[in-house]
Amino acid sequence: MDRHDISGSGIAASIKADGAELCSLRDGTGREFLWQALPAWPRHAPVLFPIVGRLVGDTLHHKGRDYPLTQHGFARDRRFAWEERTPTSCRLSLQDDAETRARYPFAFRFDVAYAVADGALSAIFSIQNTGDVPLPASMGAHPAFRWPLADGVSKSLHTLTFSSPEPAPVRRLSGGLLLPDPVPTPVEGTTLRLDESLFAADALILDHLASRSVRFAAPGAPSLDVSWEGFAQLGVWMKPGADFLCIEPWHGYASLIGFDGEFADKPGLLLIPPGKRREAVWRIRLHA
């Protein structure tokens, strides 16, 4: 596997060229916090680009033509090029080519950079419009963390604690597409008490997000903070029966059930002018 290891400040991570995917995240004792791509879900922390979620019919419509584009886009299944590698950081890139243009007819450069510093891992996602027309795109992170966070600790003791109260209704999915009506949030003030039943109907989507960070914790277990800048939504997901929890900063979300129009008109997209760049950052801080 073509991968690069980085470490410093009591945190270590491994990143692979396939999908620019974070595949290991360990504290100073060597304890692993990331789901290890077991058969229940064979990924660790996929990178989502150029869409987040699904399109109706898994099809992108652009100027009278249809393009096949499946859930979460193609970046997670493409090999990125290494641009920089140091003991504490790395940067990878993906650029449009004939294969991407057959699915997504736009010129782009997508960079993913990881670094460890001050006891945290940061990931910077950067989309550059290398074409001469506006670039419609979404990007998102999909890290899966071990749940429970420690052996012998009940899943039901775990919580997510947001940095701000989250009273707004949340969105749910059907068949991977956004249901039209929001539902009352299960977040009580700043606290979401975790239970597998929350995810029986797929992800929870906070699309009117007040917080810029959340803590995943349980009594008697280590904890972690996920924070973000430049992402507008947060998805929380697990596959029922599997021992992981995904905490996912996004810019963009699945198509609304019934929306089958021009891709550039899809709600939630970034529209990046020619020659311009959009950047977003997410971070993980581990606590013993």
Domain residue spans in the chain? 3-287
- The mean pLDDT of the chain is 97
Residue 276: CB partners within 8 Å, gap ≥ 6? 128, 129
Mean pLDDT on 135-157:
97
Supply the DSSP string of the chain, one letter for each residue. Answer: --EEEEEETTEEEEEETBTTEEEEEEETT--B-B----TTS--SSPEE-S-SS--GGGEEEETTEEEE--TT-SGGGSBPEEEEE-SSEEEEEEE--HHHHTTS----EEEEEEEEETTEEEEEEEEE--SSS-EEE-EEE--EEESSSSTT--GGG-EEEESS---S-BB-EETTEE-SS-B----BTTEEE--GGGGTTS-EEESS---SEEEEE-TTS-EEEEEEES--EEEEE--TTSSEEEEEEEE--PPBTT--S-GGGSTT-EEEPTT-EEEEEEEEEEE-
Mean pLDDT on 40-58:
97
CATH class of 3-287: mainly beta
187-245 pLDDT tens trace: 999 999 999 999 999 999 999 999 999 999 999 999 999 999 999 999 999 998 899 99
pLDDT at 273: 98
| pLDDT beyond 90 at 99 | yes
| pLDDT beyond 70 at 1 | no
Nearest 5°: the CA angle 8, 14, 19 is 140
Mean pLDDT on 249-271:
96
pLDDT at 288: 84
Mean pLDDT on 29-37:
97
10-32 pLDDT tens trace: 999 999 999 999 999 999 999 99
